[in-house]
Structure 1
Amino acid sequence: MNQDQNQLSTVFHVTHWKAGSQWLHRILRDIAPSRIVDPQLFERQFLDTPLVTGAVYPTVYVTKEQFYSVNLPANYRKFVVIRDLRDTLVSAYFSIRYSHAIIHKSLAEWRQRLESISLEDGLLMLMEEWLPLSANIQRSWVDSGETFIRYEDLLHGDTEILQDVLIRQCDIGVSQDTVEKIILKNRFENLTNGRKPGDEDRMAHERKGISGDWQNYFTPLVTDEFNRLFGRLLVETGYQLAEPGIR
């Protein structure tokens, strides 16, 4: 590593699954391609490997406790992104069932099960078995009182928020004009050959690109079970709880 990189901030994008992590991964890779440390299964690149000073770590899926358990570089910066857990669940359902590469046996098992049950049962199953990991990440950062960014706010203010986060807060070492051009390049329409946000392609990783999509899929049973398990966390992260027994 050259001397200049040793003087740069080490940047961590902390998040949970299905919270726009691959969108932000592409943005960070375009901004600092030579500094990216590729994500690995089970966060081995962060938890099990010495950290690289001056590098950029996208999609670090860890709790606050896990984050501070490692030997962090002296000049590190981080930003935390979360998403409405209901949209997180719906996005996971379609990703696991249709579009996600099978990178671990658990994904293959979930896909096989989802193909044999109804959408409602599939959401209930993933709510019990898959969603708690993302909820635990959210809860740890919310309980800590540290600041976080909501995915929904990024959808409507990506340039303003990310320029502030990446340039002012994280000191990523790239000009404002460059960051803006890269953000615009990676917007939903540009990544999907002109498909508008809300136009669904279930087989694509960029499936729909909107917030609030959970309302199209949650049944009263799913709503009630979600409220029971995650309703308090939903409110604590600034989202509005749905009325019991309705979508």
Structure 2
Amino acid sequence: MLGLLRHTLFGRLGHNGLAPSPTKVRVPTVFHITHHKAGSQWVHAILHTLAYHHLVLPEVDNRQFMNRPVENGKIYPTLYITREEFHSVALPRKYHRFVIIRDLRDTLISLYFSLKYSHPILRSEHNLMRQRLHELNMEDGLLHVAETSLIRPAMIQWSWLAARERLYRYEDLLEHDEELFEEIFLKVCRLPFSRQQVREAVRTHRFEARTKGRPRGIEDVHAHERKGIAGDWRNYFTDKVYDYVKSRYGSLLIATGYEKNFQW
């Protein structure tokens, strides 16, 4: 952490020996596009460490992006939007974006626990969903979430996939975080960070650091960072949930490369 403070983008000395003002450091316009439960808060935290003064902070229903003019030279983390929604607003002439997705089966499990225990109650329907999930057994609860809340992440994935967008997978980021975030921030988005700055920010916000030492794979259903692993759906799917997800979302799982065919 000390190294990050010493070498932060906003701590480098200018020609007069003084650190430049954070607001005077120029960055390109960048959009982080994703869906719920695909590491959005993790990416946001890394960007918060690297370039807080240039972030446009997320709001409910993407209001910071959909309802107000886009600010040039700002970074927009955590946009839960389809490609059509992205292009429905007036965009700067030049910008960079990156899209992160997650296996919809793990997204379903993470949504279930989040909606049932840890997600902030931001709307009345969130409270109704929480009450409903506490009334249902786990199998029926998973089916209920798959029939309702999983539709939106699937729509977002389909929209960007259909446009042949490069999709970064949450699972790959878990295993190769330093290398892939370096690629995203420095090569794709051309942000003015050094390799060291990116890697130190990534290390600062790894699962173990954000959970005060709880290793990945050790579950806390009441925490936002519940488990931090890929493939957890296998621990929860019943035959009924399996059949529903395969029939409803199987084609998307194949299209996004999570499965080769329907024999899973």
Q: Equivalences for 1:134-173 in 2 at 5 Å?
A: 134-173=153-192
Q: Does 1:210 align with 2:229?
A: yes
In the alignment, the residues of structure 2 paired with residue 203 and residue 146 of structure 1 have an alpha-carbon distance, to the nearest angstrom, of 34
Asked whether the equivalents of residues 223 and 242 of structure 1 are also in contact (C-alpha less than 8 Å), the reply is no
2:76 aligned with 1:57: yes
1:198 aligns with 2:217: yes
Could you list the runs of 5+ residues in structure 2 that have no partner in the other structure? 1-20
Report how far residue 174 of structure 1 moved.
1.4
Q: What SS does the aligned partner of 2:32 have?
A: strand
User: What count of residue pairs does the alignment treat as equivalent?
Assistant: 243
Give unmatched runs, 5+ long, in structure 1.
none
Residues 3 and 215 (structure 1), Cα distance of their counterparts in 2 relative to 1, 3 Å cut: closer
Aligned to 2:12: none
Equivalent residue for 1:41? 60
How far the C-alpha of 1:119 sits from its partner, in A, is 0.5
- 1:178 aligns to what? 197
Structure 2 distance, partners of 1:34, 1:71, is: 23
Whether 1:95 aligns to 2:114 is: yes
Q: How far off its partner does 1:75 sit?
A: 2.4
User: Aligned ranges for residues 64-83 of structure 1 at < 5 Å?
Assistant: 64-83=83-102
Deviations 1:115-144 (A, max 9, x none): 001000001001111100110000001111
Counterpart CA distance in 2 for 1:160 and 1:103 is: 35
Distance 1:161 1:109, change over 3 A: same
Higher-Rg member (1/2) = 2
Contact 1:35/1:55 (CA < 8 Å) preserved in 2?
A: yes
- TM-score (normalizing by structure 1): 0.95
How far has the Cα of 1:8 moved from its partner? 2.3
**Alpha carbons of 1:2 and 1:151: their partners in 2 closer, same or farther (altered >3 Å)?**
closer
For 1:32, what is the secondary structure of its paired residue?
Answer: helix
CA-to-aligned-CA distance 1:51-87 (integer Å, 9 cap, x gap): 1111111100110111111111122110000000000
The answer to whether the aligner puts 1:239 opposite 2:261 as a matched pair is: no
Structure 1 runs, 4 residues or longer, greater than 3 Å off: 1-5, 241-244
1:26-37 matches, cutoff 5 A: 26-37=45-56
2:238 to 219, 230, 235: 219
Q: Percent identity, please.
A: 46
Counterpart of 2:6 in structure 1 is none
* Aligned counterparts of 2:187 and 2:72: Cα–Cα separation in 1: 19
Mean alpha-carbon deviation: is it higher for 235-244 or for 120-129? 235-244
Worse-matched range after superposition: 210-219 or 164-173: 164-173
Q: 1:146 & 1:204 partners in 2: Cα distance?
A: 32
In 2, are the aligned partners of 1:63 and 1:141 still within 8 Å (CA)? yes
Matched residue, 1:228: 247
